[in-house]
Amino acid sequence: MELIPPLPIEDTKANRGLDKNSIDKSYFVCDKLLAIFETSKDKTFVFEYGWNVRYRLYISQKELLKEHSEAYVIQLIVEMPTTRIKVGEYTTKHNQEWLDSISK
């Protein structure tokens, strides 16, 4: 699902040690939501970012809510086609193969 405008998500590893209000923070600028994986505990969102080379960002709903409003996260879930919402862990071999097939 295309995200217009793109969704910025803070790169917490790269920003470790920076002041909370620093203007030099690094962000992932995600322009596609590939899928949402649901487990009994949480949801994992799979975003794509990058211009020449495509990368994936896996982020839990809990982490996403730290940066974006609950209304926005709920809207992402509602707008996501049901064919892109899967049950289970995103790390299983079958689910990784499925992600590879839809990201092309």
pLDDT tens, 7-33?
Answer: 888 888 777 877 777 777 788 899 999
Say if 103 falls within a structural domain: no
- Is 43 a domain residue? yes
How many domains, in total, are found in the chain?
1
In a domain, 101, yes or no: no
Task: Tell me the residue range of the domain where 75 lies.
Answer: 1-14+27-84
- Please give the mean pLDDT across all residues of the chain: 88
Q: Where are the alpha helices (DSSP H) in 1-104?
A: 61-67, 70-79, 93-102
pTM for the whole structure: 0.83
Q: Is 35 exposed, middle or buried (0-12, 13-18, 19+ CB in 10 A)?
A: buried
**Token code pair at residue 71:** 């209304």
Question: What's the average model confidence in pLDDT over 64-78?
Answer: 92
Q: Provide mean pLDDT across the span 41-53.
A: 89
Does residue 95 sit within a domain?
no
